[in-house]
A and B are shown apart, each in its own frame.
Chain A
Amino acid sequence: MRVFFALLFRNRLAGIGGVVLAIIVALVLLTPVLPLQNPDVTAMGDRFLRPLSPGHLLGTDALGRDLLSRLLWGTRLSLAVGFAAAVAAGLIGSAVGIIAGYAGGRIDNAIMRFVDMLMAFPYILLALAIVAALGPGLMNALIAVAAVNVPFFARNIRGITVGLASRDFIDAARLSGKGHVRIVLTELLPNVLPVIVIAMSTTIGWMILETAGLSFLGLGSQPPQADLGSMLGEARAAMISAPHTSVVPGVMIFLIVMSINLLGDGVRDALDPRLKSGALTRPMAATRVARRNVPEAQGSGLLQIDDLEAQFHVGRRVYRAVNGVSLSIAPGECVGLIGESGSGKSVTALSVMGLVASPPGVITGGAVRLADEDLIGAPYARLRALRGNKVAYVFQDPLSTLHPLYRVGDQLTEAITSHHRISAHEARERALKLLADVRIPNPAARLSAYPHELSGGMRQRIGIAMALANEPEVIIADEPTTALDVTVQAQVLALLDDLRRRKNVAIVFITHDFGIVGQLCDRVAVMYAGRIVEEGPTERVLSDPAHPYTRRLIACVPELGGGRRQLPAIPGLPPAVDQLPEGCAFAPRCDRATPDCAQGEIGLRGSLRKVRCIHPEAEVGA
C-alpha cells in the first residue's frame, strides 16, 4: 500500500490532480459555513456584473445573483449527484454482476444477454429515454445516468466473480455447508470490493459530466435549483453579451473532470506493474550508442567484432550484457556462438546491425566492422541500407517474428524492394525462386498464405528465404531451430548448411546446443556472462574442451543434434549480469576453482584456440 502511494505521488500530474480535487472538495464541504451571499437572491439592478466587481468576486448572472455563491452551491450539487449516481450504479451493477457470476449457467447467460443489449445503445439514448419516461428533473437525471452505467459495472464485476467462483476457497466454503448468501457476503465480496471501489472512483468524473450534461440540456435540475450544468445552460442565452457567466461554471466542470482524470491515470499507472520497470518503452530504429573510443581492429575478418560492450540501463541499474567480445568471421565461414540464455550471445549478434532493443539497450564500447567499415554509431540510413542487404538475420520463433497480418509473399518481396527498385512482377518472380531455394513445395500457393496458416518448419523456411533475399555476405541466425521439433530441426539445419556452401555466405550461428554446432560450424566461440571463455575450431573444442564450462556443456549433449537441451546438468545459475564477481564469473559453479580464480582480470589466452581460464582442462598452445 505504501508503495502504491509512493508511486502515485511520484507521478507529478497525479499529485496536481489530487491537490486540485482536494481543494474543490474542501470548498464544497465548507460552502454552508462560508460567508457567502444567498445564491438565489435576485437583484435586477445588478445584472451581469463583471468579475471582481465590489461585493461580487466572480460577478453576477442574468438575475443579479452572486456567481461565486452560485458556483460553490452548484458544484456542491453536481459533486453530490455525480457521487450518488456512481454509488448507485456501482452497487446495483456489482450486485447484478456478482449474482450472474456466482450463479453461472443459465441465469448468468440470461443476465449477460440483457446487459449486452443495454450496452448496444449509445449511452445517451438510454438516458434520454429514461428521462423522457420519468420526466425532466435532477433526481430523474441521476436515475438515468446511474441506470446507463449499471451494465458497465455488471460486466466488469461478473468477469472477476467468475474467476473467483471457481477458486478453491469458494469450494471449501460450499463444502463446509455455508449458504449461498453467506458465501457471497463473507468470501466473495471482500475480494471483489477493491475492484468495485476503484471502478466507482474512476467513473465519478464521468457521472458528474453526464448529469451536468443533462442539466445543460434542461433535462436535469430545474430552476431555481442549479447545478453546474444548468448554470451553463442558462448562461448560454447571454453567452455573447456576458461570457463570464458561461466561463465560470464551464471552467469548474473542466477542473473537476481533469483532476479526476489525472488522479485516475495516476492510480492506473501505480497499479500497472509494467510501468514500474519501464518495460513499456518502445525500441528505437537503431540501438543507442555511447562509446568513448574506437578500438583497433584485432583481425581482418569480413565481419570483425572488437571489444564489443553492450549494456541495459533500467532505471539506475546497469546490466552488463556484453563485456568486451571480439570475434572474427571470414567470408563463407560458419561460426557458432554458444552459451546459456543470458550469456550475451544474442545481444552480441543483434549489436552488429544495431538491433538491440533500445531503450534499455546501449552499446557502450567496441567496434563492429563489416569489410573494414565501422558500423557502431553509423548513421541510421547507412545501417538500414546494410540490414538485410549485406547482413541478414534469421530469428528464433518464426510465428512471432513474422508479421501476423501480412501475407508471407508480401513480407518476402518487401525484403527485396527495401533495397532494390524492381517491379512488382519481378519481385514476385524472385520471391518464387527464393521459396524454391529453401525447398518449399508449391511456392506460388504459399506466397498468398498468412504465417498462421503455415507449419513451424515452413515458417522458418520463409524466414530463411527472407534472409537470403538480397544475397547477403553474412547471415546471423539467432537460435533458428530452437522452436522447431527435432525432425524439422534437422531439415532446416541441412538446408542452411547446403545454402552456405552453394552461396558462400558466412553464418554466425547462435545456439545453446553443442550438437548443432558440431554439425554445422567451422569454428565455435563459447560465451559465459557476457564474455567469450573459449574459442577454436569445432572439432578440437568438441574433442578436447579447455574451459571447464565448455566441458560441462559438451557433457550435457546426449548425442549430436539430439534436440533442445537447457543445460540442466550444470549445477547453479549464471551470475546476474548487474553484479558480476571479480575474476572468473564461472568460479562459483566450477569444480576446478581455486582461490586465485576469484581475483583480478583473467585474460583470453592462445591464438588459434583461446581459453579464459587459469586452470584449463587442456592446453591450448600459445
Chain B
Amino acid sequence: MGRYILRRLISAVPVLLGITVIVFLIMAMIPGDPAAAILGSYATPDNVARLNRELGLEGPLWQRYLLWLWHLLHGDLGRSYALNRPVLDEVLERFSATLVLAGASFILCAVFGILAGVVSAARQYGFADKAITFVVLIGISVPAFFLGMMMILLFAVDLRWLPVSGMYAIYGGGDLMDLLRHLIMPATALAAVATGVIARLTRGAMLEVLRQDYIRTARAKGVHERRVIWGHALRAAMVSVIPVLGIQAGFVLSGAVYIETVFQWPGIGRMLVDAILKRDIVLVQGGVVFVAACYVLFNIAVDVAQSLLDPRIKT
C-alpha cells in the first residue's frame, strides 16, 4: 500500500508541473506590461522597474517560468502588493477558511447523498423514492448562490435562527459553537447540488448492484435485508460512487467561490475574486496554483481509498 501511494505521488509530479505551466501561460496572456498590471494602482515607473528586476520579468517566457517555478518550489509564491504581504501567508490563511467550509460541505453531501441514494434504491418507486427524486431534482437545479440568498432571507432575516454571514461573530464569538452556527447555512447551500448528484448516482449504482448474483447469494444465506442493502450492496456500489465523490469535491470547491461571496466567508474563493477585481495578478496566480495542487493531492487520496475498498485493483 505504501508503495502504491508513493507511485501515485510520483505520477502526480508531471500533472503538478503541467498545472504550473498552464497557470503561468494563462497569466502570460495579460496584455501590456505585466509589472504594471501586478502593481495596479501602485504602478509608479520606479516601482515597475524595480518589480521587473525583482521578478526577472524582462527575460524570455521560459526564463520567467523557470524563475517563478524555482521560487514556487522554495515556498515563495511572491508578494501581493495590494495587500502588502507574502502571497503564501494570505493563501494559507484564506484556504484554511475554505477548507472548513468545503470540508463540512463535502461531508454533508457525501453522507446525505449516499443515504438518500440507498434509501431511494431500496424503496424504488415507493413514496420515499419519489420524494427523494423530487427533492434531488430541485436541489440540482437551484444555483448555489441563489439558494444561499434565499436561506439567508428565511433563516437569518425572517426566523433569526442563524447569523446572516461571516465566519465568526464580531463580538464575543470565536468558539466552536459560534463557528458551527455560522457554518450551517453556507455549508448546506454549497452541498445542495453535489448531494443531489451523489444521491442520483448512488441510486443508480445500487439498482445495478442489487441485481447482481452475489446479492441473491447473500439473501439465500439468510443475511438480514438491512445488512444486504447497507452492507453487501452499498459496499459494491461504493466502487462506482467513490470516483464521483472525487469529482464532486471539485465542484464543491468551485461552488465555494459563490458561497463565500454570498455569506462573506473569508475563504480563498472570495480572495481570488477580489484579487481579480483589483488586478492583483500575483495573488491570483499563487492562489490558483495552490488550490489546484491541493485538489490533485486530494484525488490521489480518493484513488487510495478506492484501492482500499476494492481488492481487485492492483496496488
Cross-chain contact A132 with B19 (CB below 8 angstroms): no
Let me know if A371 is at the binding interface, CB within 8 A. Answer: no
Assembly CA distance A126 to B18 (angstroms): 13
Q: Which of B42-50, B68-76, B85-93, B291-299 contacts A (4 or more CB under 8 A)?
A: B291-299
Which of B138, B142, B235, B295 is the one whose CB lies under 8 Å from A120?
A: B295
Cross-chain contact A124 with B254 (CB below 8 angstroms): yes
Cross-chain contact B216 with A250 (CB below 8 angstroms): no
Contact string against A for B residues 211-229, beta-carbon threshold 8 Å, 1 for contact and 0 otherwise: 1111111111111110010
Let me know if A240 is at the binding interface, CB within 8 A. Answer: yes
Query: Quick one: closest B residue to A354, CB to CB?
Result: B219
What is the interface size of chain A, counting residues whose CB is below 8 A from a CB of the partner? 78
Specify which chain B residues have a CB less than 8 angstroms from the CB of A405 in the assembled complex: 235-236, 239, 309-311
Assembly CA distance A397 to B212 (angstroms): 12
Assembly CA distance A128 to B140 (angstroms): 23
Specify which chain A residues have a CB less than 8 angstroms from the CB of B272 in the assembled complex: 125, 128, 132
Smallest CB–CB gap between A278 and chain B, Å? 11
Smallest CB–CB gap between B260 and chain A, Å? 10
Q: A129-B27, A254-B142, A257-B141 are in contact. Are A120 and B312 (CB under 8 A)?
A: no
Let me know if A262 is at the binding interface, CB within 8 A. Answer: yes
Query: Quick one: closest B residue to A252, CB to CB?
Result: B146
Specify which chain A residues have a CB less than 8 angstroms from the CB of B121 in the assembled complex: 282
Q: Which of B1-9, B52-60, B147-155 contacts A (4 or more CB under 8 A)?
A: B147-155
Within 8 A of B (CB), among A2-41: 13
Within 8 A of B (CB), among A535-566: none
Which of A219, A400, A466 is the one whose CB lies under 8 Å from B213?
A: A400
Specify which chain A residues have a CB less than 8 angstroms from the CB of B217 in the assembled complex: 393, 395, 401-403, 463, 466
Q: A123-B250, A262-B137, A281-B124 are in contact. Are A415 and B221 (CB under 8 A)?
A: yes
Let me know if A258 is at the binding interface, CB within 8 A. Answer: yes
Which of B19, B141, B214, B228 is the one whose CB lies under 8 Å from A401?
A: B214
Smallest CB–CB gap between A14 and chain B, Å? 12
Specify which chain B residues have a CB less than 8 angstroms from the CB of A402 in the assembled complex: 214, 217
Let me know if B159 is at the binding interface, CB within 8 A. Answer: no
Assembly CA distance A79 to B75 (angstroms): 43
Which of B27, B208, B222, B236 is the one whose CB lies under 8 Å from A419?
A: B222
Specify which chain B residues have a CB less than 8 angstroms from the CB of A253 in the assembled complex: 143, 146
Let me know if A384 is at the binding interface, CB within 8 A. Answer: yes
Within 8 A of B (CB), among A131-154: 131-136
Query: Quick one: closest A residue to B253, CB to CB?
Result: A122
Q: A282-B211, A283-B216 are in contact. Are A219 and B276 (CB under 8 A)?
A: yes
Let me know if B257 is at the binding interface, CB within 8 A. Answer: yes
Cross-chain contact A355 with B276 (CB below 8 angstroms): no
Cross-chain contact B221 with A418 (CB below 8 angstroms): yes
Let me know if A232 is at the binding interface, CB within 8 A. Answer: yes
Within 8 A of B (CB), among A394-444: 395, 397, 400-406, 414-415, 418-419
Assembly CA distance A504 to B124 (angstroms): 42
Which of B137, B157, B220 is the one whose CB lies under 8 Å from A388?
A: B220
Smallest CB–CB gap between A448 and chain B, Å? 10
Smallest CB–CB gap between B298 and chain A, Å? 10
Assembly CA distance A134 to B32 (angstroms): 11
Which of B18, B208, B224, B255 is the one whose CB lies under 8 Å from A114?
A: B18
Cross-chain contact B207 with A280 (CB below 8 angstroms): yes
Query: Quick one: closest B residue to A279, CB to CB?
Result: B211
Which of B141, B153, B262, B288 is the one whose CB lies under 8 Å from A125?
A: B288
What is the interface size of chain B, counting residues whose CB is below 8 A from a CB of the partner? 80
Q: A136-B276, A218-B277, A414-B223 are in contact. Are A129 and B250 (CB under 8 A)?
A: no
Within 8 A of A (CB), among B198-216: 206-208, 210-216
Smallest CB–CB gap between B38 and chain A, Å? 11
Cross-chain contact B220 with A387 (CB below 8 angstroms): yes
Query: Quick one: closest A residue to B209, CB to CB?
Result: A282
Let me know if A567 is at the binding interface, CB within 8 A. Answer: no
Cross-chain contact B222 with A384 (CB below 8 angstroms): yes
Find the residue from A133, A380, A385, A463 having the highest chain B CB count within 10 A. Answer: A133
Assembly CA distance A285 to B123 (angstroms): 11
Query: Quick one: closest A residue to B311, CB to CB?
Result: A450
Q: Which of A209-217, A298-306, A582-590, A614-622 contacts B (4 or more CB under 8 A)?
A: A209-217
Assembly CA distance A218 to B262 (angstroms): 12
Cross-chain contact B27 with A132 (CB below 8 angstroms): yes
Smallest CB–CB gap between A562 and chain B, Å? 27
Specify which chain A residues have a CB less than 8 angstroms from the CB of B146 in the assembled complex: 232, 246, 250, 253-254
Within 8 A of B (CB), among A341-392: 353, 355, 357, 380, 384-389, 392
In the assembled complex, 24 residue pairs joining A and B whose CB atoms fall closer than 8 Å, in A order, are A117-B22, A122-B292, A125-B291, A128-B273, A128-B288, A129-B285, A130-B26, A133-B30, A134-B29, A218-B277, A239-B152, A253-B143, A254-B141, A258-B141, A261-B137, A280-B208, A282-B207, A285-B219, A384-B222, A387-B220, A401-B217, A404-B311, A406-B235, A450-B311
